[in-house]
Amino acid sequence: MTGIIVESLLLLLAHAAAGIYSSTLKYSKTTTYIIWGGWIALQTGLLIYAESKFTNWAVQFLLGFVVSLVGQYILFFATTKGNLAQRIFTMLTYSIFFCIIMAPFIMAKDALSQLHWSLTVLVQAALLFGIVAYFLGYICPLCRAASKSITAGWRQMIFVNIVFLITVILSSVYPAKLTGFSDPSFIAFVFLSVSIMAVYPVIFVGITHMSEAATKREVEVQNQLLIAQIELEKAQIAVEAQARHDRRHHNLVMLEYANQNDIESVRQHLKSLVEWESQAVSGEKYCDNLTVHTVLSVYERQAKEKGICVNISAKASRELTVLPQDLVIVIANLFENAIHATEKLKTTEKVIDIDVKDSDKRLLIKMENPCKHHLHFDESLYGIGIRSVINTTNKYEGMHDFSAEDGIFSAKISLNLV
């Protein structure tokens, strides 16, 4: 009886560890520990009751295994948050590893228990620790890293996991149940198990590497387009400056025509000047830094075309130690994301607030836009643009903060200028 209870406690602790540390928690760690601890206590009580009151193995199996398994899954989904399909995939992966490790243990259990029940407990503890450590310490981090690049496809991966799980179960009981380590079928089972466990890191590492390469290419293309757009805007500003410079000469010419009472020449010259002036670009200058001003102007125009109001407060020195292309990456990506998020909302109050200023040897950038009230923003939502902003922020040993509260998404960036 004691051995059975200790074995069950080890299983429950392994399930709890896999459930708590494999995904993002919905509640605090303390609350989560209390919930899982209560489940372990309740399940242990059910097991003791079943073992002492019932001799029917079916009832014992129902209370000791089925209820335990169902409870584990219910608690996992109740205490974690994030992509549902990804969490289903995670738990199925753990279930596969658990079945793989328990098959040989069950085969050796009878022989070990004949010597002493403590041997059974020690072997089970070692196997469970090994599989949980492999799952949580290696597979889960790889899965989380790859999940940043997987926007779709979790359902297909769930189907693969179901196939793996059925294959593992059937290979240990069909066409004949494994009964000994000398069984030729056991060799095939080991090969299958090792192959399945090795597939996961290969898949996740491959996804991460391909995504990093694709992201790098996309960011480079995006940055080139942004810089090209800025260069065009700079050229337009240069045309405007040249127009202001040339206006003085036109005024002198018209003054000379007027002095000679040549009104027709004045009229013709004014007409051509008006047509020429209409081609110049005019607008508010937000700050002395040309790059910051230009990026804000470019995307403010895009926002207004989509019916979005933009409030801009900018104070940036003409000469900043931040490279122009890095300024483009940070401000343009944040502004573009704000535009995309705001235009999707079904509301008439579409406003983006932007504050850029350099102070205390730092360049501070804050951008706020409306968002869905129930939005929970975490790293899983980082797109290519946000990751590009973070990489640039890290380059200047700066800080970044992204949050969503009360229907307002806020992005705060600090770049060191020294």
CATH 3.40.640.10 fits 290-416, yes or no: no
Q: What is the pLDDT along the chain (418 residues), one digit of tens a residue?
A: 566 778 788 888 888 999 999 998 999 999 999 999 998 888 888 777 777 776 666 666 676 667 777 888 899 999 998 888 889 999 999 999 988 888 888 777 767 777 677 788 888 889 889 999 999 999 999 888 887 766 667 888 899 999 998 998 888 876 667 777 777 788 888 888 999 999 999 888 887 777 677 667 667 756 665 675 676 667 667 767 776 777 777 777 777 778 888 888 877 777 776 766 555 444 567 888 888 888 888 888 889 989 999 999 999 888 888 988 888 889 988 998 899 889 888 777 799 999 999 987 899 999 999 887 776 666 655 677 788 888 889 889 899 998 888 888 999 999 998 7
| The pLDDT value given to residue 363 | 94
DSSP per residue, 42-92: HHHHHHHHHHHH---HHHHHIIIIIHHHHHHHHHHHHHEES-HHHHHHHHH
The rounded distance, in Å, linking the Cα atoms of 16 and 48 is 19
Cα maximum dimension of the chain = 124
Where does CATH 3.30.565.10 sit in the chain? 290-416
CB atoms within 10 A of CB 416: 15
Residues with Cβ within 8 Å of residue 197, at least 6 apart in sequence: 97, 100, 134
Enumerate the H helices of 260-371 as residue ranges.
Answer: 263-277, 290-305, 324-343
Q: pLDDT tens digit string along 321-347?
A: 898 888 888 998 899 889 988 988 877
| H-run or E-run covering 409 | strand 408-416
Pair 123, 193: CB distance under 8 Å: no
Is the Cβ–Cβ distance between 85 and 158 less than 8 Å? yes
Per the structure block, which two tokens stand in for 361?
């040897």
Backbone region of residue 195 per phi and psi (left: phi > 0; alpha: psi in -120 to 50; beta: other values): alpha
Round to whole Å and give the CA distance between 243 and 237.
10
